[in-house]
Structure 1
């Protein structure tokens, strides 16, 4: 067994998550025993070509083993959520356009709604710009093919000054596209110990796909019914959390102030002061911009790069949140309680 485990480690065998059941064997006796004995181990190279491979157990019927099948299964969950990629900030045209998108949005309403509307308008405009410029569709393979044609021509006709200049231009473009691809997969992999400049696109790609495989939901048991269709799963999840987070009347505990330490008047004044631009700037710039983005899809790198344009909107919203601090704190505490219940 040790030799087998050693072989699996050396071969980097990937054990895919098992869907439908947790175990593949049972002794079928009164004193029940369960184990996962049957599984597929795949090489990382296979998963690079077939990233949507899954293991699924089948009913065991008369046997004490569940049959296990492996197949590529692509589930359509609808449009993919928007995620801002850091390398877009390197495009000068995009930076100029994004500043214009933010300033041209004239939303009317509460400050929170204005901030939301400007982020939404920027996201829609950014998607259109990406499609029109086709910047996301430019793969390294296109440049590699051009380089091959150029090298073949040079071998046949000899190198000229124009061919050398064209080759230098293509090499520069190829490096740029490889760099974009590497940055994109590194960001999607969400590995904390990596830094800008680390180069292993295949590794980033495998980690990102591994995260997607582990997070995929192929079926869900809700109120005794097994759901497999993506739309019914989404509806079931929505109904569950809508009911779970529904406000209910309950008697809140009253805390006694006896024995509590008190802060000084100076500390009280400092806590009640409004957020300054310097404080917000310091907090933002001490956050890692590569962290997972928020619900709107923009990460902190986007906010840092466009801080001059969004600072006023951001600070106005911060002032409103501060003015309603008592209401915000009570709402926050009410949401934390059920969240901890769900996470166990």
Structure 2
């Protein structure tokens, strides 16, 4: 039983390895030939155009295939979906909400000093979520 499990693990590992190599080769080819006026470039551009186009849409009235009909069906769908309904809304009257004092409000609106920012960054756990560039603080 252990041999079967080990062989299955080995097969999966090799499949992932092969998939990784194919992915790297495609990226290498794109870097090498990408924006040149090559067959590869035209294939990628045409593939994306086909994938991003809507040539057929299903509506309650049936399938719509022509360009004007598809445009109209999409427009009607979103107009109906985002149509603003005017209905009376409840109002909150005679309810006293807690509010900040002027001193607290001024503290919240204070500008951060450079020392405060440095302290927070250096005290933070560097192995947590990545920043906008994809790197965490340890990097």
Higher RCO (CA < 8 A, seq sep 6+):
1
Select the structure of larger CA radius of gyration: 2
Q: Same fold (TM over 0.5)?
A: no
| TM-score where L is the length of structure 1 | 0.18
| TM-score where L is the length of structure 2 | 0.38
